[in-house]
Amino acid sequence: MSILQQHLQESVRAIRERTKVKARVGIVLGTGLGALGKEVQAELRMPFSQIPHMASASVQSHSGELVAGTLNGTPVYVLEGRLHYYEGHRLSDIVYPVRLLHALGCEVLVLSNAAGGLNAAWALGDLMVIEDHINLPGLVGANPLVGPNDEAVGPRFPDMSRPYDRKLIESAHAAAKATGLSLREGVYVMVTGPNLETRAEYRMLRNLGADVVGMSTLPEVVAARHVGMRVVAFSIVTDLCIPETLEEADIDTIIKTASAAEPKLTKLVKQMVGTLA
Ligand code: HPA
């Protein structure tokens, strides 16, 4: 058994000692998008620092927690808080939580993030379900699957023809309809950050075919597809990245926009997860 699998088994054991929750659905919440965690009827809230081999434990003591319970009747594990590449974490540490959700028995992965809007027809606070992605860091080397491959975990050359599960995307649209929310569908491009982009970079990203740009999520998606999980991911448009009218970026405004749109995303994901029981 590989070191990775040993670590995963130890993490799973530590969680199983504390909860009997068996969930098929795992949810990873983006920074500032933790409200959904509060909607969970929780049997357990376990700080990452108490889970062996979760990297955040050694870096930041209060950087997140695992919530186990039910959301709208469906058993779930929710991870509040994630690691970012721009913080200097190793990609293998960034994707560890996703591999852990899989080791815990999750077959479906729901992800959320805040992103900049490149599509000129869209507005601040819009919600988008990701239909496809451009993994810029992953294409040129910063890919969590680089290195020896454990065939027991997943294939050497995982398919990415459809990383986002069409049935889950349709469930997301149905949930949007049921809750009276509008939901866009589009392409997410990842950059490493931490600086925001220049006008020329936004123009390039738009020309590449992306609707939104962000600094997270894609390493987790790639790792989830590697192990065969079905993935659905949502973005909140927190700033407008239109080169012709670009204003100076203000991180406080970005975070405020994320918080203002968060109740919509929470409602949508709660409704959707209820249909996945
Ligand atoms: N660029 C990259 N990441 C982001 C942005 C952006 O404009 N907004 C929110 N996350």
Q: Are 66 and 48 in contact (CB under 8 A)?
A: yes
Q: In 104-212, where does DSSP find H-type helix?
A: 136-139, 166-179, 199-207
Ligand 1 atom nearest to 249, measured from its CA: 7
140 has pLDDT over 80: yes
Instruction: Give 251 Cα–ligand 1 centroid separation in angstroms.
Output: 9
Residue nearest (by alpha carbon) to ligand 1 atom 7? 116
Instruction: Give 202 Cα–ligand 1 centroid separation in angstroms.
Output: 10
* pLDDT band per the 50, 70, 90 thresholds, residue 249: confident
CA nearest 164: which of 182, 186, 190?
186
Instruction: Give 226 Cα–ligand 1 centroid separation in angstroms.
Output: 26
Residue nearest (by alpha carbon) to ligand 1 atom 3? 214
Residue nearest (by alpha carbon) to ligand 1 atom 9? 115
User: Which domains, ranges and CATH numbers included, belong to the chain?
Assistant: 3-273 (3.40.50.1580)
Instruction: Give 206 Cα–ligand 1 centroid separation in angstroms.
Output: 13
> What was the pLDDT predicted at 47?
92
Ligand 1 atom nearest to 196, measured from its CA: 1
What average pLDDT does this structure show over 118-135? 97
- Among 21-35, 88-102, 123-137, 161-175, which is the least confidently predicted range? 21-35
- Pocket around ligand 1 at a 6 A CB cut-off: 114-116, 191, 193, 196-197, 213-215, 238-239, 241, 254
> What was the pLDDT predicted at 57?
42
* pLDDT band per the 50, 70, 90 thresholds, residue 32: low
Q: What is the mean pLDDT of the chain?
A: 94
* pLDDT band per the 50, 70, 90 thresholds, residue 1: confident
What average pLDDT does this structure show over 147-153? 91
Instruction: Give 114 Cα–ligand 1 centroid separation in angstroms.
Output: 7
Ligand 1 atom nearest to 241, measured from its CA: 7
Q: Are 244 and 122 in contact (CB under 8 A)?
A: no
> What was the pLDDT predicted at 60?
46
Instruction: Give 214 Cα–ligand 1 centroid separation in angstroms.
Output: 5
What average pLDDT does this structure show over 264-272? 96
31 has pLDDT over 80: no
User: How many CA atoms within 13 Å lie on the side-chain side of 167?
Assistant: 6
pTM above 0.85, yes or no: yes
pLDDT tens digits, one per residue of 14-26: 999 999 999 999 9
pLDDT tens digits, one per residue of 50-90: 999 997 644 443 468 999 999 999 999 999 988 899 989 99
- Among 78-87, 164-173, 216-225, which is the least confidently predicted range? 78-87
What average pLDDT does this structure show over 240-265? 92
CA nearest 107: which of 228, 15, 272?
228
- The pLDDT > 90 percentage for the chain reads 86
CA nearest 64: which of 32, 105, 111?
32
Q: Are strands 230-240 and 41-47 parallel, antiparallel or unpaired?
A: unpaired
